[in-house]
Structure 1
C-alpha cells in the first residue's frame, strides 16, 4: 500500500489523558498531489486544527478543516472556485467489523481504523475535505451553455413544462 499524499501520523501515546491540540497543513507538493487525486484544477489551501482525545480505546478528533481551490464544472469543465470550512468529528477505532455486510449507524460513518499505534490525521482531513466538496459544481454560465446546446431545464422537460409549451402554442393560435 502506498503512502497517502498528505500523511500526518500521530502516535497514540502522544495524545495523553488530557488530550492534545494538533494543527496540520498540506504543503504545495501535497496539495498538488491531492488536486490530482480529487480531480481538481487546483488546491490552494488545506489545513485543519483538531482536539484529540482518547476515551475507552477510541481516539476522537474534533476540529475544523479549511480548504480552497477550484473544481471542474460538470457542464463546461471550467474552473469553479471552492471554499470549504467544515467542522468534523472523527473516531479512530482498533477493531473493524468482520463479515461481508455490515450495518452502519450515522455515528459509524465518520469512523476510521487505527493505523497500528497511530492515527493518520492528514489522510483523514484529506478524505473529509473530499467528502465536503460539492458533488456537481457548475460554472455561472453552465445553464446558458446547456440552453445553447438544446438541453432543456428540469422545468421545461417536466410535465408542467410540456403544458406551458402547449399553452403558448394555443395562445399563438397554432
Structure 2
C-alpha cells in the first residue's frame, strides 16, 4: 500500500463559527483555550508553556458577503531565555484585525496582492498594506488557526528574561591574554615602514 508523502496536519486549535450565526448587528465572542488546546499550541509554536490563551472578539458584516474580525488576543507564555536557558513567564496582549471573504473572492484578492507585490518590487513602492482576506469555506470560518497565527507573530524570536544581558559573542573582548588570537598582531598598525 502506497502512503501519501504529503500529510494534512490538523490545526492545534480550532474554533469554527458558522457565518449564519452572525447577524447584521454583529457577534461578540469570548474564546478560551482549554489545557489540552494550550499544550498543543505550545508544542506547535515551540514554547515551554502556555498558561493562558484567550481572545475577546467582535465579528461584523463587511459588505455583501464579507466579515470583519476585531478584538484582542491574550496569552501567558513561558519562554526559554536565549541567554541563560532558564524558563520565564511573560504576558502578551495583541490587537486583532482580519477580514474574511468567500473562497472565490479570496483567490481574486490573492492574485491582486501578488500582482501589486510584483509591481511594487519593480517600482519600489509599498505593496503589503492589506493582507488578503481569510477564506469562508462551506459557510464557516475557523478562528482557532487565525488566533494561533496572531500569537506566533507576537512571539519574541529571541526571548530574554527581564534585565538579562548577553555578555559573550564575537564582539566580547577576552579576559586573559591567552585567549587573544595569534592573528591579533596583524591588526596593529605597523610603524617604521618605508
Change (3 A) 1:107 1:99: closer
Change (3 A) 1:150 1:136: closer
- Provide TM-score, normalisation by structure 1: 0.75
2:87 aligned with 1:68, yes or no? no
Residue 51 of structure 2 contacts residue 75 of structure 2 at CA under 8 Å; is this kept in 1? yes
User: How far 1:2 moved relative to its partner?
Assistant: 3.2
Distance in 2, Cα, partners of 1:20 & 1:150: 52
2:14 aligned with 1:7, yes or no? yes
2:130 aligned with 1:130, yes or no? no
Change (3 A) 1:52 1:152: same
- Provide TM-score, normalisation by structure 2: 0.68
2:44 aligned with 1:37, yes or no? yes
**Which residue does the alignment assign to 1:106?**
129
Uncovered stretches (5+) of structure 1, i.e. residues with no partner: 154-174
Residue 77 of structure 2 contacts residue 92 of structure 2 at CA under 8 Å; is this kept in 1? no
1:31-75 CA distance string (max 9 Å, x none): 001111111000000000111011122211111111002122223
Distance in 2, Cα, partners of 1:35 & 1:58: 31
Distance in 2, Cα, partners of 1:32 & 1:123: 15
Q: RMSD value over aligned CA atoms?
A: 2.3
- How many residue pairs match? The answer is 149
2:180 aligned with 1:152, yes or no? no
1:107-130 CA distance string (max 9 Å, x none): 216x32223311111221111111
User: How far 1:8 moved relative to its partner?
Assistant: 0.3
Uncovered stretches (5+) of structure 2, i.e. residues with no partner: 1-7, 118-126, 173-194
Residue 24 of structure 1 contacts residue 122 of structure 1 at CA under 8 Å; is this kept in 2? no
2:60 aligned with 1:53, yes or no? yes
Q: Based on CA coordinates, which of the two structures has the bigger radius of gyration?
A: 2
User: How far 1:100 moved relative to its partner?
Assistant: 10
Secondary structure of 1:54's aligned partner: strand
Bigger shift: residues 112-121 or 93-102? 93-102
